[in-house]
Amino acid sequence: MSNLRRPELLAPAGGMSQLKAAVRFGADAVYGGLPRFGLRASAELFTLESLSEAVQYLHGLGKKFYLTLNVLPYDDELDALADTAYEAWKLGVDAALVSDPGAFLTIRERVPELPLHVSTQANVMNAPTALMYQRLGASRIVLSRELSLERIAALKRQLPDSLELEAFVHGAMCMAYSGRCMMSDHLASRGGNHGECAQPCRWQYHLVEEKRPGEIINVEEDGRGTSIFSAYDLCMLEHLPEMIRAGIDSLKIEGRMKTAFYVSHVVTSYRQAIDLLMGQGEEAYAAALPRLINELEKASHRSWNTGFYFGKPQPSGGAGGVTQSMEYTADVISWDGKDLTLQVKNRFYVGDQLEILQPDGFRTLTIERIEDPQSGESLNTVSVAGQIVKVPCPFAAGPGDYVRGPNRNHRQTI
């Protein structure tokens, strides 16, 4: 048995489908935002009505909801921000994430009962800053992404146990200083610090020399160009013991723009890793890592590194496009004891070997027949998204399970 302290596993939720996938596959808490103030203007997002539903659903399962209010507001937005915080507190959210000091003070004054977490965009990198926020009423600090584990451990030793630390464990990284980037404002007139980032760091670029206008010089990475600013994704699955020993209380997965399919893959990998580490110890956890990393490879991701946790990121940029070894094939609607009813997402064929992803792992299913349930017609393939079909299946599966199949494109951008 491990003597490490069990961390919270915190998952992203762009909307209710992601939220339900997150907790079904093992998250202890989720974070999400409303249409204003949450830095993800184009995500599915929650309304006050659906936020109420989400909080009640999570609390019924003993889980938590943290609301993102981490926009950098102008003076004329502060009253509305405080009103939103008040409405969220009435609905029972467990905390709000805030990055701007003025927003923090305004919410603390207007909604003193609402627990506040300091967002990573506040760039907390030292103990005096963390203690200052605690004196102002913060219960948790989401650490700056630029901190190493060595520095986090040193910082933790200077803090009281009552002040929790949260840090990112997996997902996309921003090329700018903890997300404070102006590229989108400059190139696309979309404010990244108001939730409208166009992700220009992910675009492909070519080089033009000043005295040779119009003469494009390729900086080759692949046949499509290069994305030299594009940061690698973060993956710390192989370093959970080090993160926990450094004093991190909550392990945060990035991805409020991601699908429920993606969330389920990442959460289940980290849930299984944490449970093995806590329950059976580091040997069992280490033995399972190849299998769990293979599971992560099946979901969309850029190339991985360990961020700043062990020094400067290596490589520092040029992550390129998104890859995944398997694709989202269908949702399970029901199982009648012999056939699965599926809602199609991507093409599959008779003879394909698919996988049914469930909270306790996945099971393999070879497609022996595809049937149109309305006409009874047997099909060789199906490709229309949203189409309902039936396939024979010898084992139980149900709503919330995902069907995945081989990614025939091998590489795709999501």
Top-level class of domain 326-406: mainly beta
130 vs 116: CA distance, rounded Å: 13
What is the pLDDT at residue 259? 92
Phi, psi (deg, nearest 5) at residue 91:
-80, -10
Edge-to-edge strands of the sheet including 353-358?
A: 361-366, 353-358, 402-406, 326-335, 339-344, 388-392, 370-371, 378-379
Q: What is the pTM of this model?
A: 0.87
Question: What is the pLDDT at residue 413?
Answer: 36
Residue 160 tokens, joined: 């009281």
- The answer to whether the beta carbons of residues 155 and 147 sit under 8 Å apart is yes
Q: What is the DSSP letter of 29?
A: E
- How much of the chain is helix, strand and coil, in % rounded to 5? 30, 25, 45
> According to the CATH classification, is domain 8-173+234-305 in 3.40.190.80?
no
Is the distance from CB of 352 to CB of 370 less than 8 angstroms?
no
Q: What are the backbone dihedrals phi and psi of residue 204, each rounded to the nearest 5 degrees, phi first?
A: -85, 140
Q: What is the pLDDT along the chain (414 residues), one digit of tens a residue?
A: 567 899 999 999 999 999 999 999 999 999 999 988 865 554 567 999 999 999 999 999 999 999 999 988 999 999 999 999 999 999 999 999 999 999 999 999 999 999 999 999 999 999 999 999 999 999 999 999 999 999 999 999 999 999 999 999 999 887 665 556 656 665 666 555 555 666 666 666 666 767 777 776 555 555 444 555 677 889 999 999 999 999 999 999 999 889 999 999 999 999 999 999 999 999 999 999 999 999 999 988 888 899 999 998 876 666 667 788 899 999 999 999 999 999 999 999 999 999 999 999 999 999 999 999 999 999 999 999 999 999 999 999 999 999 999 887 644 433
> How far apart (Å, rounded) are the C-alpha atoms in residues 257 and 45?
9
Domain boundaries along the sequence of the chain: 8-173+234-305, 326-406
